Structure 1
Amino acid sequence: MRHAMAAEALLLRKRLAPFVVGGGWVVMVVGFGFGVPYIVYATLDPVKQAADRAELLATLLPAAAHTTAAGSYPLFGGAIMLILGVLITGSEYRWGTWPARLSQGPGRAGVVLAKVLVGTAAVVLIATAALAASLVASIVVASVEGRSLTWPAASAIATALGATVFISVAWMSVGAALAVIFRGVGAALGAGLLWTLGLENALSGLAGVVPALEPVRAILLGPASGSLVAALGVPSLSEGGAVGVAAYMSAPAACAVLSGYIVAGVALATVLIRRRDIT
């Protein structure tokens, strides 16, 4: 298993796509989490909109940088991590490397598990880089505005990082399974993004006006991600916060749903890889 993970880590390092996805996400977190809100803050009237300015600025300072970064994950970050998961398994179909990969090292289940574990390590690095970039961006904002650097507790930062990694792994696992289901990258990306960004949002919105759909929303990946982030204290969209953040369910229930997606994604990918003829 150790050799399988080493091989998957080498594959991930040699391919450009994971670096593009990870680097792109770090830029998006800083740009949309701090850059765009600061532009909005700068354009608000200092007299007539003083309260709105103060509220918005508070989310951009170091004390709230960890929650501001976490607020980007339920919708946009999840989609990015789904893309990463698709690339981790789907690239093998694109390059025709499954036969060579499965003829060496452990069994097929071990190869799939190694891919997921290495993908999880990549997710941890990406989430850590995004959080570090967010802290740097908040320092810049505080310096420009002449505010003191008040840092959140280390436990709060660790909790936010853990939540974002948990969410990311769930989305990545779904992406990895979709690539195996569709035997490639293109169709898996299309189906995954259509479901998560389109149908899930539609069902979640309808559940607010159609009570019969509440049980459906309780098992969706997006609402579970938004609920976990909301449990960190991130304001919802109606409160001026990030898109996709809302307390649809309790934090333990959200963790259970996310865990279910991780287990289901890995299990489905493993079963299909073991049963199908890869050649």
Structure 2
Amino acid sequence: MINALSAEALLLRRRPAAFVVGGVWVLLVVGFGFAVPYIVYATLDPVKHAADRAQLLDILLPSAAGETAAGSYPLFGGAIMLILGVLITGSEYRWGTWPARLAQGPTRTQVVLAKTVAGAVAVVVIAAAALVAAIVASIVIASVEGRPLTWPGPSEIAASLGATALISVAWMSVGAALGVVFRGVGTALGVGLLWTLGLENALSGLAGVVPALEPVRTVLLGPAGGSLVAALGVPSMGEGGSPGVAAYVTAPVACLVLAVYTVAGVALATALIRRRDIT
């Protein structure tokens, strides 16, 4: 297992997927979480919109950097991490490297577990990098506005990183499973993004007006992530916050749903790799 993990870690370092996906996500967090709101803040009339400006600036300062960064994950972050998961497993089919990978010694189960563990480490590192970038962006905004640097507490940083890491690992695991199910990248990405940005949003929206769909929403991956982020104190979209953030379920239930998706994704990928003839 150690050899399998070392091999997968080497693959992630040599292949550009993790670096590209991670770099794109860091830029998105800084751009849409801080740069765009600050532009809106700067363009609002200081007299007519004094209260709105004050509320907007509060979420851009260092004391709220962790929560602001986490607000990007329920909708957009999930899609990005799903893409990385698909690339981790689906690329092996595109390049035809599964036979060589499975013939090097570790069992098929060990190889799949090593891929998912390496992917989990990668998305946690990406989440940490995005959090650091968010804090840096908030420091720049505070300096420009002449505001004191009030730092978030260690517990707040840990809670933000923990929530974003759990959301990222769950989506990455689902993406890795889709890459195996569809034996490639293209179809897996199409289905995954359609599910992430289309089906889940549609079901979640309908559940608000059709009570019979409420139980369905409680077991969806996106609403679980949105509920976990809402538990951090991030405002919902109705309160002027990020899309996808809403307290549909409690934080423990959200963590449970995310953990179930993680385990289910790994189990499905492992089962298919064990049963299929890889040629």
TM normalised by structure 2 equals 0.99
- In 1, the alpha carbon distance for the partners of 2:189 and 2:23 equals 19
- In 2, the alpha carbon distance for the partners of 1:185 and 1:270 equals 17
SS at match of 2:9: helix
User: What is aligned with 1:24?
Assistant: 24
The alpha-carbon deviation at position 104 of structure 1 amounts to: 1.2
Figure out how many residues of one structure are paired with residues of the other and give that number: 279
The alpha-carbon deviation at position 218 of structure 1 amounts to: 0.6
The answer to whether residue 9 in structure 2 is matched with residue 9 in structure 1 is yes
User: What is aligned with 1:44?
Assistant: 44
- In 2, the alpha carbon distance for the partners of 1:135 and 1:186 equals 35
TM normalised by structure 1 equals 0.99
- In 2, the alpha carbon distance for the partners of 1:166 and 1:50 equals 37
The alpha-carbon deviation at position 105 of structure 1 amounts to: 2.8
1:255 maps to amino acid: C
- In 1, the alpha carbon distance for the partners of 2:88 and 2:227 equals 27
User: What is aligned with 1:62?
Assistant: 62
- Structure 1 residues 194-248: Cα deviation after superposition (integer angstroms, max 9, x where no partner): 0111010000000000000001001100000000000000000000000100000
1:192 maps to amino acid: G
- Structure 1 residues 16-36: Cα deviation after superposition (integer angstroms, max 9, x where no partner): 121110000000000000000
User: What is aligned with 2:74?
Assistant: 74
2:136 maps to amino acid: V
- In 2, the alpha carbon distance for the partners of 1:2 and 1:51 equals 56
User: What is aligned with 2:150?
Assistant: 150
User: What is aligned with 1:99?
Assistant: 99
How big is the alpha-carbon RMSD for the aligned residues of Structure 1 and Structure 2? 0.5
1:153 maps to amino acid: G
User: What is aligned with 1:120?
Assistant: 120
Comparing 135-144 with 9-18, greater Cα deviation is found at 9-18
The alpha-carbon deviation at position 124 of structure 1 amounts to: 1.3
Q: How does 1:152-191 map onto structure 2 within 5 Å?
A: 152-191=152-191
User: What is aligned with 2:235?
Assistant: 235
SS at match of 1:113: helix
- In 2, the alpha carbon distance for the partners of 1:87 and 1:138 equals 32
User: What is aligned with 1:193?
Assistant: 193
The alpha-carbon deviation at position 133 of structure 1 amounts to: 0.3
The alpha-carbon deviation at position 106 of structure 1 amounts to: 1.5
- In 2, the alpha carbon distance for the partners of 1:63 and 1:242 equals 18
2:228 maps to amino acid: L
Runs (5+) with no aligned partner, structure 2: none
The alpha-carbon deviation at position 155 of structure 1 amounts to: 1.1
Comparing 99-108 with 69-78, greater Cα deviation is found at 99-108
